[in-house]
Amino acid sequence: MTSDQNAIEPAGSGSILSDFGGMFNFLMDPAGAARYLNRGLFWLAPLIVVSIVYMVCGLENFPLVQQAMSNQPMPANANPDQFQKGIQIGLTIQRVAIYAAPIFFLAISAVCALIVLGTASVMGFKVTFLQMFNLMAGLSVIGALQIIAMSVILHFRGEPSSMADLQPALGLDIFAPATMNKAAVAVLGFFNIFEIWQIVMAAAIFAAYKRTSIGKAVAAIAPVYLIALLFKVVGALLSSGR
């Protein structure tokens, strides 16, 4: 069993404004971020910030999504009216997804928190759902930076020729040859600078919070990222592109 007697001191009570400030500790200060894991409503700050970023970027990128869908070649023997109807349905789903950003944030953070909670508990760490939910919510700020970076790249590229162009390469997949296996490209693409940054900070914050080794912290948070990698690989194998 892992001892929890040396868990880090929590941050004191404060307003939501202090939570907004504490949120940025999740970018580069593991010990500072760990002090916010016990705060009951800390997750509200990243919820607000990440949702705004997602919605603003989503609305800014929406014309590019329209162009990408319109530029897709119509499948052979497809009915033109049905093809256009399919595009309109796809755009409607995109609009709903943009405004449902807070719901997606809560759902993804909750699922990830449950996974880490389960793994940490098996390893003997005494953690609560709220603590792990705050951890995953705070780390989502790094994901928001990735969304911003992708949006900037998309607008510099200009009009997309397909839906695949809406997913710019940010990892080692940028060097992948066109003949490389889809699964291999997905693995290379998963480990981009933002994902690596998030994994490092997740392990470092957990280690600081529980005053444990980095190795044990990595083991506690690893299932979340392994499952995400699995979904990315499966999605790549099922895609019609490269």
What is the DSSP code (8-state) at residue 6? T
Distance (Å, rounded) from C-alpha 63 to C-alpha 70?
11
What is the DSSP code (8-state) at residue 166? G
Work out the percent of the chain whose per-residue pLDDT is above 90. Answer: 58
Q: Which residue has the tokens 């480990």?
A: 191
Mean pLDDT of 88-103: 91
Domain assignment present for 106: yes
What is the DSSP code (8-state) at residue 174? G
For residue 69, which of 44, 41, 47, 95 has the smallest C-alpha distance?
95
Mean pLDDT of 127-144: 96
Q: Which residue has the tokens 């997804």?
A: 97
Domain assignment present for 11: no
| pLDDT for 212 | 94
Radius of gyration of the chain (CA): 20
Compute how many other C-beta atoms are within 10 angstroms of the C-beta atom of residue 233. 18
Contacts of 159 by beta carbon, 8 Å cutoff, 6+ apart: 64, 67, 71
Domain assignment present for 2: no
Angle formed by the axes of helices 193-210 and 129-157, nearest 10°:
160
Q: Which residue has the tokens 């508990």?
A: 121
Domain assignment present for 6: no
- Here the tokens at position 205 are 């914050």
pLDDT band for position 35 (50/70/90)? very high
- Here the tokens at position 211 are 């005053």
Contact 11, 36 (CB under 8 A): yes
Contact 44, 105 (CB under 8 A): no
Q: Which residue has the tokens 């590019």?
A: 64
Domain assignment present for 218: yes
Q: How far is the CA of 58 from the CAs of 154, 157, 218, in angstroms?
A: 12, 16, 32
Which pTM does this prediction carry? 0.86
Q: What is the pLDDT of residues 42-85, one digit of tens each?
A: 999 999 999 999 999 999 999 888 888 887 777 777 777 787 88
Asked whether the predicted pLDDT for residue 6 surpasses 70, the reply is no
| pLDDT for 85 | 84
| pLDDT for 166 | 82
By residue count, the chain amounts to: 242
Domains in the chain, number: 1
- Here the tokens at position 191 are 């480990």
Asked whether the predicted pLDDT for residue 3 surpasses 50, the reply is no
Domain assignment present for 213: yes
Write out the residue range of the structural domain in which residue 199 sits: 16-238
Distance (Å, rounded) from C-alpha 187 to C-alpha 195?
12
